[in-house]
Amino acid sequence: MAKAAQTNSKRQKFEELVARRVPSVRKSIAVLRHLTNHNAYDFKETDWKKILGVIREDVDALERAAMSKGGKEADLSFSL
């Protein structure tokens, strides 16, 4: 019974954190979308290819970590 309670507690914690973090990630992506305004910003297609490439790498790393028993932290630095 103790193991079931611990598993349920871990599940609850996971659900609580996901409920906060996923909307936060989605909001960050929406904020990035504002930077695609050609009238307000000067950027090149290569800039966006680099930005989106880094984001895809992070999503790929997240997927690998979620499907395995663990994974190492990604380097979160970025510059154009």
| Residue 66 burial (C-beta neighbours within 10 Å; 0-12, 13-18, 19+) | exposed
The answer as to whether 73 is a domain residue is no
The answer as to whether 18 is a domain residue is yes
The answer as to whether 78 is a domain residue is no
The answer as to whether 47 is a domain residue is yes
pLDDT of residue 69: 76
Domain of 21?
Answer: 2-33+43-67
Q: Read off the pTM.
A: 0.75
pLDDT of residue 73: 67
* Domain count within the chain: 1
The answer as to whether 52 is a domain residue is yes
Where do we find the tokens 């409920």?
19
Using the predicted structure, report yes or no on whether residue 1 has a pLDDT greater than 60: no
In this structure, are residues 35 and 52 in contact, taking their beta carbons and an 8 Å threshold?
no
At 58, list the tokens. 């992070």
pLDDT of residue 7: 76
The answer as to whether 11 is a domain residue is yes
pLDDT, tens digit, for every residue of 45-69? 999 999 999 999 999 999 999 998 7
